[in-house]
Structure 1
Amino acid sequence: VYCRDVSGEERPEPRNLTDARTLRALAHPVRIALYEELAFGGAMTATELGERIGETPTTCSFHLRQLAKYGFVEEAGGGKGRARPWRLTSLGWNIPAAHDPEAQIAGDLVLRLSRERAFGRYQRWQETKSGYPGEWREAADDSEYVTYVTAEELTQVNKELHAVLARFRERLKDPARRPPGALPVETLLLSYPIEPPPDDSRAGPPAGENG
C-alpha cells in the first residue's frame, strides 16, 4: 500500500505525495500509525484508534485533525467530538523520486517510519507464528534474492510484482470480497542495488577520439 514509485506509472487510488510540506505533515509516528489502522480497519473514532495504537483519544484527535488539514483523512459522518468516525481520503500513497532535496528528505522519513512499523509486524510474526495453523506457517514466505539486472529490467520486475499483488486490492477496500478464512497479509517489496555503479568518469575516451 505504501511505496516509493520509481516507475513513473500512476497506479489507481494511491495518492502521489510530492510536496515537502505535505510529506513532513505525515512524517510522525502517531500519524503513520493512525493512517495504517484506518487502512486496515476502516472508519474509526479517535477513541477506537487510541485503543488500537496505545495513545489517548486527545492525542489521536489532534493528529487526525492535522492529517485532515493535509487531505489524508476526512470525517466519515455521524457522531460528535471524539465520537465522530474518521476515514481515509485515498488508500495508500506513492512517493515519487524527488528532485527537491527537502521533499526527498521528508519522503525518506515517511518511508522509514512506515517500514519500521512493518518490520515490527514481521518480528511479531516470527515470535507468534507457532500459534498459527500449519497451513499458514507453510504459506508464509521469507526469501531473499540477489540478481544482476539493469535499471530498466528492475523497473519491469517491480511493475510485474505490483500487478500480481494488485489483483487482491479490492479486498482491502471491500470486506465483502474477502473469501472465508482470509487474513490480512503484508508483503514488502524492497529492491535496491548493493554495490555502487561503476565510475565511468575514470574511463578513457572512446576509441578513435582524442582527449
Structure 2
Amino acid sequence: MSPNEPEDRPTPYADDPRIRHIDARSLRGLAHPLRMRLLNALREFGPATASGLADRLGESSGATSYHLRQLAAFGFVEDDPERGKGRERWWKARHSGTAFGDDMTGFMQHADPEVRGAIGVVLHELATTHAQELNTWLGTMREWPEEWLRSWDVSDFKVRLTPELSLELAEKIHDLVNSYRGRVPDDTEGSAVVRTHLHIFPRPTD
C-alpha cells in the first residue's frame, strides 16, 4: 500500500497530490481485502476492466465490478476516459500511494469500534500481501537472470531501541528508499520494479 507514516512524524507526503491521505471515512471504504487487492493491481499494472482484474485476481467479475464502484465512491479509483470508449468500463487508480500520517494511532484507539476494526483489516491485509509477495518471489526466483539472484535480500535484525530511536530508524529507512526513486527510467533494459517491505515492531524480552 504505500507509504505509512509513523505517529508524530512530519509527513513528506503532505503536499504530494499522488498520495491519498486516509481519514476515518475513506478508511472504512478501503477496509476490504478485495478492494485493497484491486487498488494495488491498478497501481502496479495500470488501468484495467473489472473482467480483466477478475482474471488477474481469480475473482468473479461481479465481485470486482461491485468493489471497484465502492472504491470509486470513496475516491480511490476513477474511470479511465482514454480507454473507456467501448462497452467495457475501464478503471484507473487516482493516486500512486496511500499514507495514514498521524492518524494511525488515532484509528487504533478510536472510540468507534468500526474504525478500529477497519484499521485492523487494512493492517492485516497489508501483512498478508507482503507475505504473499515474498513467497511468490521465492517460488519464481529461478526464472530471473543471475544478476537478480545475486541482488535480492531477506534479512531480519534485532536491536534494543527506545520508541524515539525506533521512529528515527523508520524515518532514515524511508528517506533512504525514497532517495532511489526516479534514478532508473521506466524503459531501462534489465531493470525491474523492486518491492521493499519495512516492518519495525517491539518484542517482549521475557
Q: Shared fold by TM > 0.5?
A: yes
- DSSP-derived class of the 1:144 partner: coil
Cα deviation, 1:4-25, whole Å, max 9, x if unaligned, reads 4214322323222230x43232
Structure 1, unmatched stretches of 5+, are 197-211
2-structure distance, mates of 1:82, 1:153: 55
- CA 1:150–1:81: 2 relative to 1, 3 Å: farther
> Does the 8 A contact of 2:80 with 2:90 survive in 1?
yes
Please tell me the root mean square deviation across aligned C-alpha atoms, in Å: 2.3
Q: Cα deviations across residues 50-92 of structure 1 (Å, max 9, x unaligned)? A: 1211122222111100000111111121425862221112222
Alignment map for 1:50-61 (pairs within 5 Å): 50-61=54-65
Verify the 8 A CA contact 2:28 2:118 in the aligned structure 1. yes
Distance 1:160 1:177 in 2: 26
Equivalent in the alignment of 1:205: none
Separation in structure 2 between the aligned mates of residue 97 and residue 180 of structure 1, nearest angstrom: 42
Q: Does the 8 A contact of 1:44 with 1:86 survive in 2?
A: yes
The residue aligned with 1:70 is 74
In 1, Cα distance between equivalents of 2:52 and 2:186: 24
| TM-score, normalization by structure 2 | 0.82
Tell me whether 1:188 sits opposite 2:200 in the alignment: no
TM-score of the aligned structures, taking structure 1 as reference length: 0.81
Identify unmatched segments of 5+ residues in structure 2: none
Distance in 2, matches of 1:177 and 1:48, equals 23
Distance 1:126 1:149, change over 3 A: same
Shift of 1:114: 2.2
2:33–2:121 Cα contact (<8 Å) kept = no
Is 1:160 aligned with 2:172?
yes
The size of the alignment, in residue pairs, is: 192
Shift of 1:159: 1.0
Shift of 1:31: 0.7
| Contact persistence 1:57–1:82 (CA under 8 A) | no
Q: SS state of the match for residue 83, structure 1?
A: coil
Question: Which of the numbers 46, 53, 61 marks the counterpart of 2:50?
Answer: 46
Taking the aligned partners of 1:47 and 1:169, their CA distance within structure 2 comes to: 32
Q: How far off is 1:176 after superposition?
A: 5.1
Pair 1:29–1:168, CA change in 2 (3 A): same
Give percent identity, aligned residues only: 29
Q: 1:85 maps to which residue?
A: 90
Give the deviation of 1:104 after TM superposition.
Answer: 3.4
- The 5-angstrom pairing of residues 25-174 of structure 1 reads 25-77=29-81, 78-79=83-84, 83-95=88-100, 96-98=104-106, 99-101=109-111, 102=113, 103-170=115-182
